[in-house]
Amino acid sequence: MKMRVGLGFLLFFCLSKLVLTAQDTKLSALDNLKAEMYRLQDDPDFQHAIWGFCVLDVKKDSVVAEYNSGVGLVPASSLKVVTTAAALSILGENYRFETKIQYDGVFDTINGVIYGNLYIKGNGDPTLGSKYFLKEKDTVAVAWKWARELQSKGIHKIEGSVIADPLIYDSNTIPETWIWGDLGNYYGAGAGGLNYRDNLYSVFFQSGNDGDSVKITKMNPSIPRLRLYNYVKAAGTKDNAYIYGAPYDDFHFVTGSIPAHRNDFQVDGAMPDPAYYCAYEVDSVLRRNGIQILGKPCNLRDLRLGNKDEKKHRTVIFSEYSPRLADIVWWTNKKSVNLFAESIMKILAVRRTGYGSEGAGTDAIVSFWNGKGVDLKGFYMNDGCGLSRWNSITPRQFTSILRVISKDPSFKAFYKSLPEYNSTMVAKGGYITRVRSYTGYATKKNGDLLAFSLIANNYDGSPVDAKKKLEKLLDLIALME
């Protein structure tokens, strides 16, 4: 008798569900989404993984679907949305970094002589000489632009040196939780107070047969004092070469492999001292433009270490302003530029404490979101870009942050910075070894927004397979009404 009642109830439930499904497409989309979540739980590639998921109706501030939404996970580059959204709200989308060209001593305007030093006073601008803002081939490089500006002021001679001053930010440009395997590579370029040319240099290789050593043909730009030790072989079909080296270290080495029979194969590395290189290049360009300089270019950090900085009064000659913060954020999220995110985070520290340290930057961001009412229990932030594996955030916290920023005056600029996933979705993705994440918005047919976050850590299988399986969930979010 009990069995008959159970079967009858089950039949009634199934028929009722079919009627509801036919009448309510919202339920159908949600059912399909939940079914895919259950399939992912049983997938062999995710048996040893930890993953979490949250979909939030922004207008209603209510969770639509979730799985492990309160579990703290390593987010990779999706963390950039936490940094960039906070910065746009705090600083405003029209904020610009200011780099000052200064001198100490006396400027003899009659004879065009500076009896002192020329300073490049950085304020953390990550866009000086950046490839992302060189829109035309004939764009004047910033060093040449400054040379013309100094010539227009009548300067013909500098009795001292061209000195880079990056000390608005901590001299330790790399977060302490980044791993050695990332340092020296293009994505491991840290943020200093004076950044230049994306803090990168390129190494070009020529390769022969499989298994043979390859030859370095050139570097661009050529970094003074830097010595490269080359252990790269020809093998495989992809770029598998890595540059190792710490900040301020003049000895970098390259290992791994590049494809065989290639000419001018490019591998990008992180400059050991971008501030010094900026002073070096400006010095070289000024000399080429006929300005006599008696001293050698240097980094003020080195003078301080040698107790040679006399801390003289300086006078500003002119200032160089960055593009708008909204434009910098656009590139930060669209191209996932770690340097930009780190610089943005540190300028928030300067705004809060007067000094751009990593810790003060993360504290400023955490304080901001706490002040907006986001529950940050279990949230740990150790950099601004997501490269650190010490970061931890829950999918629910991500969606809460997305809901809060959607009410902010800067929301339009923030939304535009997120990469398009499809015609109705934008999402900032993230990837480091065994980590894949997506955080963004889906637009329903009525124009309302769904905020979503999907993070997976320590999955088995290939990154490509994990990407395909996780993105099935995103595709189903896009069908929700």
Please tell me the distance from the alpha carbon of residue 250 to that of residue 273, in angstroms, as a whole number.
Answer: 9
Looking up residue 347, the CATH number of its domain turns out to be: 3.40.710.10
Q: DSSP label at 354?
A: S
Same domain, 132 and 191: no
What confidence tens digit (pLDDT) does each residue in 325-346 have?
999 999 999 999 999 999 999 9
Same domain, 305 and 284: yes
Please tell me the distance from the alpha carbon of residue 419 to that of residue 331, in angstroms, as a whole number.
Answer: 10
Q: Which of 270, 304, 335 is the last residue of a domain?
A: 270
Instruction: Please check whether residue 106 lies inside any domain of the structure.
Output: yes
Question: What's the Cα-to-Cα distance from 447 to each of 64, 125, 424, 466, rounded to whole Å?
Answer: 16, 37, 10, 30
What is the β-pairing status of strands 227-230 and 251-258?
parallel
Please tell me the distance from the alpha carbon of residue 10 to that of residue 385, in angstroms, as a whole number.
Answer: 50
For residues 290-305, give the mean pLDDT.
Answer: 95
What 3-state class would DSSP assign to 48? coil
What confidence tens digit (pLDDT) does each residue in 13-46 have?
343 443 333 334 445 788 899 899 999 999 999 9
Same domain, 221 and 166: no
User: Total domain count for the chain?
Assistant: 3
Please tell me the distance from the alpha carbon of residue 406 to that of residue 400, in angstroms, as a whole number.
Answer: 10
Model pLDDT, residue 309: 81
For residues 375-381, give the mean pLDDT.
Answer: 97
Same domain, 457 and 341: yes
Q: Which ranges of 391-477 does DSSP label H, i.e. alpha helix?
A: 395-405, 411-417, 463-477
Same domain, 396 and 459: yes
Model pLDDT, residue 10: 38
Same domain, 197 and 251: yes
What is the β-pairing status of strands 62-67 and 298-299?
unpaired
Same domain, 318 and 438: no
Instruction: Please check whether residue 196 lies inside any domain of the structure.
Output: yes
Containing structural domain, residue 462: 30-93+327-477
Model pLDDT, residue 25: 46
Which amino acid makes up residue 74? Answer: V
Same domain, 262 and 348: no
Please tell me the distance from the alpha carbon of residue 34 to that of residue 279, in angstroms, as a whole number.
Answer: 57
What confidence tens digit (pLDDT) does each residue in 128-146 have?
999 999 876 556 689 999 9
For the chain, report the end-to-end CA distance as a whole number of angstroms. 42
Same domain, 278 and 194: no
Question: What's the Cα-to-Cα distance from 109 to each of 106, 150, 161, 365, 428, rounded to whole Å?
Answer: 9, 12, 18, 46, 52
Instruction: Please check whether residue 181 lies inside any domain of the structure.
Output: no
Same domain, 392 and 473: yes
CA neighbor of 162 nearest in space, from 350, 317, 266: 317
What is the β-pairing status of strands 233-234 and 251-258?
parallel
b/e map 105-127, b = 16+ CB within 10 Å: bebeeeebbbebbbbbbbbbbbb
Q: Could you tell me what percent of the chain has a pLDDT over 70?
A: 93
Same domain, 320 and 336: no
Structure token pair of residue 394: 């829950």
Question: What's the Cα-to-Cα distance from 191 to each of 179, 290, 304, rounded to whole Å?
Answer: 16, 32, 19
Same domain, 108 and 254: no
What confidence tens digit (pLDDT) does each residue in 170-187 have?
999 999 999 999 999 999
